[in-house]
Amino acid sequence: MGTLTIGCFPSIVGNMGYDFALKLADAAVSKGHKVSIWFSGNATVSVKAHQKHLKDYSTAEKYLQALLAKGVEICTCEACTVARGIQKTEGIEGIQWNAMHWYLAKIHAADRVLQIGGE
Amino acid sequence: MGDVKCAFIVQKPQYKGETSRLAITHAIAYQTVEILLEDGDTVTPKLCFIGEGVLGLQKGQNAMDVYGITSTESHVKNCLLVDLNVLVCKEDLDKYGISEDSLPDADDMGADMKIQVVPFSEIQKVLDESQHVLFF
């Protein structure tokens, strides 16, 4: 089995790239691959807990929790996140907070890297 | 595992979106990644600007006064200071009428590295030699 690292930069709402990243991660981990996800840029807003899933909007929390339960490592860029007014205490439990070198370290360990850009 | 080479390819103009800047800051992070790696392991990024990505690199930027943020110029200079390879596509500079002389250096910071203005064929070589290619 392989190791997949996904860098995810788009926001949860307004760009289906984010939705694709989570679905791909789920497919990969379900096949037995080791998966890690790095959130940067606007993707970091998705780590805030207590999201209300309105049917007109994509949501992240329940999918992120499911991925965490399956062993996917998820980390958000701390600088990008706090710059958007989200504090660590408000974040979804189990998601790591770190700096950009976390992503590079996961790239180092990865067989494949998928960089999903933002806007 | 040793060294892992990565190509960071910037295709979008600076300031238009965030990701073109994040490419730079993520590449610079190679300086501290070793704290998370085993001894002897390294990540070596090469930062390449192509297409519209060559826009917004010129020196003399005043982003702190205008936008209240650090400029791309300062980020590029920091790249050079930490010995990061920065390549800019010559054909695309020519296409937009941007002279090589207008690009910044970090001589005032004591950097040895310079921006490398290269034909796309050189950037293609970077793509070929890299284990991972990240498009921003």
Per-residue pLDDT tens over the stretch A13-44:
888 999 999 999 999 999 999 999 999 999 99
d(CA B29, CA A73): 20
A42/chain B closest Cα distance in angstroms: 9
The amino acid occupying position B45 is P
The predicted structure's pLDDT at residue A26 = 98
Which candidate in B11, B20, B36, B37 is best for mutational testing of the A interface (most A CBs within 10 A)? B36
Burial group, residue B82, by CB count within 10 angstroms (0-12, 13-18, 19+): middle
The CATH number covering residue B59 comes to: 3.40.1260.10
Per-residue pLDDT tens over the stretch A79-116:
999 999 999 999 999 999 999 999 999 999 999 999 99
Q: Does A30 touch chain B (CB under 8 A)?
A: no
Q: Which residues, 6 or more positions from B132, have their beta carbon under 8 angstroms from its beta carbon?
A: A107, A110, A113, B4, B5, B6, B7
- Cα B21 to Cα B12, B27, B75: the distances in Å are 9, 10, 8
The predicted structure's pLDDT at residue A14 = 83
Q: Which fold has domain A3-50+57-110?
A: Hypothetical Protein Ychn; Chain: A, (3.40.1260)
* Domain count for chain B: 1
Q: Does B40 touch chain A (CB under 8 A)?
A: no
ipTM value, please give it.
Answer: 0.94
Domain span holding position B114: 3-135
Residue ranges covered by each domain of chain A: 3-50+57-110
Q: Is the pLDDT of residue B47 over 90?
A: yes
